[in-house]
Chains A and B, each alone.
Chain A
């Protein structure tokens, strides 16, 4: 285990309050601006929204003060800002399309904050999670594969990453990723020494011994299973990416990452060539603007998103002034394009920066915390958010093929929001430990 030099940190609860206030002003103004521009401003509605979000913020803040007083003060305000900006934009789409996603999303936000509070209250020490390593592994795998169960899974947009229970649909993959991070953290912290053992040297790099390749191949196979049967490159990439990232943190061996990435690339290429749905996603990505691809409808959504972002330009049309409703799934899969249109490149950069802040604070907690499990847990969860953002934003901006994942905290979707607030709870828990003055940090 690495040793950490003592870093004196202030608890920062007061900074958190100030940042939350800024966050609150931003999200209430964003919501008000949408009404101002796209409908009409009704002060009572905005006041109610302001009150509701303030109650959530204060509740979260008070609970943190009690049960995680040393937790990172930046995470909570950043996440509230993302969630609130998302709600403003979803409300904007509602106004254009006469839907009511924003109301549902506000309820999910309240449930998410509640879930975060519950996790913080119940889980006083993240190390307890290590006991459930294999349970988490099984739960994660089951959740990931649940959409494949006939009669339960439903196909949306060609991808089978949703399930339907009693008329409610959810994306179990969103929760699976948490369970898998816990599993990988617990597994890798135990087996990292074996996995780090060097094998044959090739291309100036030490590769793992073939006999240690088992776990990697197993996870790779699972990822391929997801890609082939759920027909979703995004879920597969997220799943495998989390594993590779954590494997690297645990073993510090680039060769593992390269081996894994190579395997995934081969698998992905084969899938792209053989599975029609994945293949059409690749076509849409590579030839989005070609007349044929567009006419066939495969790249229409992507291209409409590009048109939207282009019309936003540097500074955007202003919240409520654009036409994000011209893009299908503008409130969920394409909320990034909607925000790019109405807030412009500037707004998009700000949002990406907020994500970057959240991820970097997670990594900071990983570096600060003393136990290996905590390091892997925090860096794994942070990296999960990072890859998911990359897959979603990269898909919309044509860096990678488009997939069915949604932007964490921003996009409409109850499973996603709930799961990500739980991710935040775990990060806050680890960061509380990481930033605790050393005399308190002695394990009880």
Chain B
């Protein structure tokens, strides 16, 4: 009976080989198809079913993961979703992750290499391993003020700490509540997302850093002035400022706001030109300085260079080899000059910090679940934008803008405020964008701000940067000064 036993063992061997082949087929050859099968929720659960760390502002969690009794195990929860959506982004089982939820994903879900020792240490602690918490640089009250001030107008506010580059406020309007997309009910999430996507005012777009970039209008004159100062001019240097400036090689002319003339003598000092935002003077200055000089100064403040904070910021653009007429238009922030609100806040911050532009950042501290610090962002010099003496001269001129120029709406009693208005033309049929760029206190700045209100906001055609955007900046500066007084800034 030994022979049949041997044959039987060959049969058994074949059967086991058959099983191995079929397992190989499932687990290797056919695995991708099975993984991608729409009925396979496993891939989704694996990706989204983790005990994610929270986002924290000023010691309080604003986004966290709650244990729930469904296959995902945790539900992303928001205390003030809409207020911080621009920074945190959303975390959706259907539409994935955006903003910091995406860029900080590996820290939040605990798989980042920097958390290795923490993971090891946690093993014996008897706790469910949670991802790291991300402490943001944002200030809750500044966010609140910016959001209230923008109200239902379209626009954005970015506030920086000029000394460190911390982003103190980043608000985009309109915005959305990420909780709408974080539900585990996919049908509901689909519906909410489609609704947000189809809205004509694009609430999902972060206008502060990644919307369609805006023409900076007269706020770009800060760059012209910085370039002029570097070229050896001073605030007292006289500029040619006719009522209307003919554009070379074209029948078009540049005029001033309301068609007024800047001065009776057709000349004006550089500081007065900035104070009253004289278009013809800056257009002429631009042509006199040459575009390349202005272009270099703009780049010194960050134009055309990619930056992430760690959110990816849309590049601010400059025209390529413009002719004289285009140079004149570009010098007053029109033609092909484009900037994000963050870029304009960086201009203010660079001037405020004696010409040294710090790299903006949103993530302050990363803590492991046991509260040990994993990473702290150290302030970092981004660019030497201008000399300290030029920066001080420019600051003085900007103080003039607020004291008795176009930006008087930003005045704060007892505090020197430096600012610059901008009213950017957007086309024949649409109202201009209202800008205001400022920092305060002028001698030792606590906050640098850029505000944009799209298409004049509630004032429409009548809008100017001074009328619409400056009061918003003032409210933020007042709050910042209050915080500074409390020692919280």
A-B contact pairs, 14 of them (CB 8 A): A36-B123, A40-B128, A245-B8, A248-B4, A249-B5, A289-B37, A307-B34, A309-B26, A310-B31, A344-B27, A352-B23, A353-B16, A386-B16, A399-B18
Q: Is the interface on chain B under 10, 10 to 19, 20 to 34, or 35 or more residues?
A: 35 or more
A376 to B4, CA, bound (A): 11
Residue pair B2, A4 in contact (C-beta under 8 Å):
yes
Residue pair B127, A40 in contact (C-beta under 8 Å):
yes
The contact of B12 among A41, A294, A360, by CB within 8 Å, is: A360
A62 to B386, CA, bound (A): 86
Interface SS of B by simple majority: helix
Residue pair A375, B9 in contact (C-beta under 8 Å):
no
B199 located at the interface, meaning its Cβ lies under 8 Å from any Cβ of chain A in the complex: no
B40 located at the interface, meaning its Cβ lies under 8 Å from any Cβ of chain A in the complex: yes
Contacts of B128 in A (CB 8 A): 39-40
The contact of A363 among B8, B18, B24, B37, by CB within 8 Å, is: B8
A310 to B28, CA, bound (A): 7
Contacts of B122 in A (CB 8 A): 40
Closest to A352 in B: B16
Residue pair B28, A345 in contact (C-beta under 8 Å):
yes
Residue pair B19, A394 in contact (C-beta under 8 Å):
yes
A50 located at the interface, meaning its Cβ lies under 8 Å from any Cβ of chain B in the complex: no
Residue pair B8, A379 in contact (C-beta under 8 Å):
yes
Contact residues of A between 335 and 391, Cβ < 8 Å to B: 340, 344-345, 348-349, 352-353, 355-356, 359-360, 363, 366-367, 372, 375-376, 379, 382-383, 386, 389-390
Contact residues of B between 1 and 43, Cβ < 8 Å to A: 1-9, 12-13, 15-16, 18-20, 22-24, 26-28, 30-35, 37, 39-43
B124 located at the interface, meaning its Cβ lies under 8 Å from any Cβ of chain A in the complex: yes
A41 to B35, CA, bound (A): 30
Residue pair A397, B2 in contact (C-beta under 8 Å):
no
A4 to B6, CA, bound (A): 14
The contact of A307 among B16, B20, B42, B123, by CB within 8 Å, is: B42
A379 to B1, CA, bound (A): 10
Residue pair A311, B42 in contact (C-beta under 8 Å):
yes
Residue pair A310, B3 in contact (C-beta under 8 Å):
no
| Given known contacts A326-B45, A359-B12, A375-B5, A310 and B19 CB-to-CB distance under 8 angstroms | no
Contacts of A360 in B (CB 8 A): 9, 12-13
- Chain B positions near chain A (C-beta within 8 angstroms): 1-9, 12-13, 15-16, 18-20, 22-24, 26-28, 30-35, 37, 39-43, 45-46, 49, 71, 122-128
Contacts of B27 in A (CB 8 A): 309-310, 312-314, 340, 344-345, 348
Contacts of B126 in A (CB 8 A): 40, 42
Residue pair B23, A348 in contact (C-beta under 8 Å):
yes
Distance in angstroms from A75 CB to nearest chain B CB is: 15
Interface SS of A by simple majority: helix
A314 to B3, CA, bound (A): 37
| Given known contacts A252-B1, A326-B71, A375-B1, A352 and B20 CB-to-CB distance under 8 angstroms | yes
Distance in angstroms from B131 CB to nearest chain A CB is: 16
A323 to B3, CA, bound (A): 46
A313 to B43, CA, bound (A): 13
A360 to B12, CA, bound (A): 9
A306 located at the interface, meaning its Cβ lies under 8 Å from any Cβ of chain B in the complex: yes
A353 to B13, CA, bound (A): 10
Residue pair A383, B35 in contact (C-beta under 8 Å):
no
Contacts of A308 in B (CB 8 A): 42
Closest to A308 in B: B42
Residue pair B42, A356 in contact (C-beta under 8 Å):
no
Closest to A40 in B: B126
Residue pair A398, B42 in contact (C-beta under 8 Å):
no
| Given known contacts A352-B19, A352-B20, A307 and B40 CB-to-CB distance under 8 angstroms | yes
Residue pair B31, A397 in contact (C-beta under 8 Å):
no
A367 to B4, CA, bound (A): 10
Closest to B24 in A: A345
Residue pair A349, B20 in contact (C-beta under 8 Å):
yes
The contact of B15 among A303, A311, A386, by CB within 8 Å, is: A386
| Given known contacts A252-B4, A344-B27, A367-B2, A310 and B34 CB-to-CB distance under 8 angstroms | yes
The contact of A311 among B12, B33, B43, by CB within 8 Å, is: B43
Residue pair A376, B43 in contact (C-beta under 8 Å):
no
A157 located at the interface, meaning its Cβ lies under 8 Å from any Cβ of chain B in the complex: no
| Given known contacts A307-B42, A323-B46, A352-B20, A248 and B28 CB-to-CB distance under 8 angstroms | no
Q: Interface code A245-284, partner B: CB below 8 Å = 1, 0 otherwise? A: 1001110100000000000000000000000000000000
A312 to B8, CA, bound (A): 32
| Given known contacts A313-B28, A352-B20, A390-B19, A372 and B1 CB-to-CB distance under 8 angstroms | yes
For the complex of A and B, list the 3 residue pairs with the smallest distance between their C-beta atoms, beginning with the closest: A310-B34, A310-B31, A345-B27
The contact of A399 among B7, B19, B43, B124, by CB within 8 Å, is: B19
Closest to A366 in B: B5
Closest to B3 in A: A252
Contacts of A348 in B (CB 8 A): 20, 23, 27
Residue pair B40, A323 in contact (C-beta under 8 Å):
no
A289 to B30, CA, bound (A): 12
